[in-house]
Amino acid sequence: MTTAWRAPTATGPVHATVTVPGSKSITNRALLLAALSTGGGSLAGALRSRDTDLMIAALRSLGVRVTIADDGVVRVDGSAGLRGSSEVDCGLAGTVMRFVPPAAVLADGPVRFDGDPYARERPMRTVLDALRTLGAQITGDALPFTVHATGSMRGGEVTVDASASSQFVSGLLLSGARYDDGVTVRHHDVRDGKPVPSMPHIEMTVRMLREAGVAVNDSDVNTWRVEPGPIASRVWTIEPDLSNATPFLAAAAVTGGSVTVPGWPADTTQAGDGIRHILTRMGCQVTVSGHGCTVDGPTALSGVDVDMHDVGELTPTVAALAALAESPSRLRGIAHLRGHETDRLAALATEINGLGGAAEETEDGLVITPAPLRAGVWHAYADHRMATAGAIVGLAVAGVEVDDIGTTSKTMPDFPLLWNEMLSPTTSSVESAG
Ligand SMILES: O=C(O)C1=C[C@@H](OP(=O)(O)O)[C@@H](O)[C@H](O)C1
Ligand SMILES: C=C(OP(=O)(O)O)C(=O)O
């Protein structure tokens, strides 16, 4: 069922403090690492959303015990081993479809994977071929596929073309310590020499593995070595989701207001931290202090020419801002977004142009030129970040309707509530229930 939503228009500068829920990327890594650890683990501040619930359901289907206490603390125990003869629903979650199969090879029987209709289009073959090279038997090259697990995995060295997604590398590294020979992953794009996108996400993987006592060598460019050994039990404290914070910070940028997101980590591997630099270049004042990250918007927003290769996740937010800026923008280095929840480059260009804007797809990104926007329907394409981009545009353009705001449940089910509260003149502080 889709939920149409009239995006509220700001009646003046937005002033608010918005607490955002935990990071999807950290939550799903922590859940998996806890499941593969010797004595289980727990997560404080974990995100509850469709993607993280899918990860929990996947682990439960593999026989892992996952309990969620009243205070939201998630306890995970996979010490009894992973069970086969199971089914995993990946939904549209890249972190489930790319991270769980490398763990499922350790189960004691077949594990079948499937997902949403569009998930069947998302690139998977690189991971599946890599697992075959490392000793797994798998039928299928995209969703749906079956991992014929035998209880152990040889591991060793594998060369992959990870230019379509950093998740191919992260998935192999997260489970690699549990393979007999560990794993060494090399990136090599034979055809075009394209680099791995979203490198902060691989740094997140490496950092979290090290925090769980796993030896990782990433000293050579494009090569990661995970030594075999136990994954330690620990308590994971999940940072706020900085990518999901960006639409709220964008509200300050668009309206010349001031928005603070508390709990902004001083040292993080989250790609979302990159928004500070981009907003500064667009004319905002951005400060990080003990209070959090505060963005003060300018009277008029400047366009920006920016390489988004490392921070592709932020593209829908930045494209929405660019459509409202007073000078042209060029977003580069993001051809891989064509394999995200939807083809994000096509979707953004179509939706901006559908409201009278001027966005053009390039080979590796978007060029967005200022043009007056008008009321109309903004399509979400089952993509949470397309929906939130529509909300940003709606702040400045009256009569924008997002055709399915429900897609924000992928990583932020409370989005409509938080957005409305941020805009409510009587509310200055907004807490997430998530
Ligand atoms: O590892 C992760 O948690 C993610 C990696 C990135 O994927 P890509 O490398 O496919 O862009 C990012 O866009 C995605 O939202 C989450
Ligand atoms: C690309 C994204 O998600 P996924 O983890 O499904 O790849 C995203 O959240 O922007």
> Could you report the per-residue pLDDT of 9-51, keeping only the tens digit for each?
999 999 999 999 999 999 999 999 999 999 999 999 999 999 9
Cα distance between residue 35 and residue 46, in whole Å: 15
Residue nearest to atom 9 of ligand 2 (CA): 313
Chain mean pLDDT for the chain:
96
Contact 244, 434 (CB under 8 A): no
Q: What is the pLDDT of residue 425?
A: 56
DSSP 54: H
The helix/strand/coil state of 113 is: strand
Q: Which two tokens stand for residue 400?
A: 């924008």
Contact 402, 423 (CB under 8 A): no
Q: Which two tokens stand for residue 428?
A: 């200055």
pLDDT tens digits for 168-196?
999 999 999 999 999 999 999 777 789 99
Max CA separation in the chain (angstroms): 62
Distance 201 CA to ligand 1 centre (A): 6
How many residues are recorded in the chain?
434
Distance 205 CA to ligand 2 centre (A): 15
Cα distance between residue 248 and residue 234, in whole Å: 32
Which of 53, 62, 138 shows the shortest CA–CA distance to 92?
Answer: 53
Please state which architecture CATH assigns to domain 5-22+240-430.
Alpha-beta prism (3.65)
* CATH 3.65.10.10 domain position(s) in the chain: 5-22+240-430, 24-227
Q: Tell how strand 235-237 and strand 223-226 pair up.
A: unpaired
Q: What is the pLDDT of residue 432?
A: 46
Residue 313 is among the residues annotated as catalytic for this protein: yes
Interface ipTM > 0.95: yes
The set of long-range contacts for 211-215, using a CB threshold of 8 Å and a minimum separation of 24, is: 212/33, 212/37, 214/177
Q: Which two tokens stand for residue 404?
A: 């399915």
Distance 94 CA to ligand 1 centre (A): 7
**Residue to mutate (ligand 2; options 116, 120, 121, 385; most atoms within 8 A of CB):** 385
Residue 431, phi then psi, degrees to nearest 5: -105, 140
Q: Which of 157, 211, 227, 313 is catalytic?
A: 313
Residue 426 pLDDT grade (very low, low, confident, very high; cuts 50, 70, 90): low
pTM of the model: 0.97
Kindly indicate whether the domain formed by 24-227 is annotated with CATH number 3.65.10.10. Answer: yes
Q: Tell how strand 329-332 and strand 365-369 pair up.
A: antiparallel
Binding residues for phosphoenolpyruvate: 24, 94, 122, 167, 344, 385, 410
Neighbours of 115 (CB within 10 A): 22
Cα distance between residue 156 and residue 183, in whole Å: 5
pLDDT tens digits for 230-279?
999 999 999 999 999 999 999 999 999 999 999 999 999 999 999 999 99
Instruction: Answer yes or no: is pLDDT of 161 > 90.
Output: yes
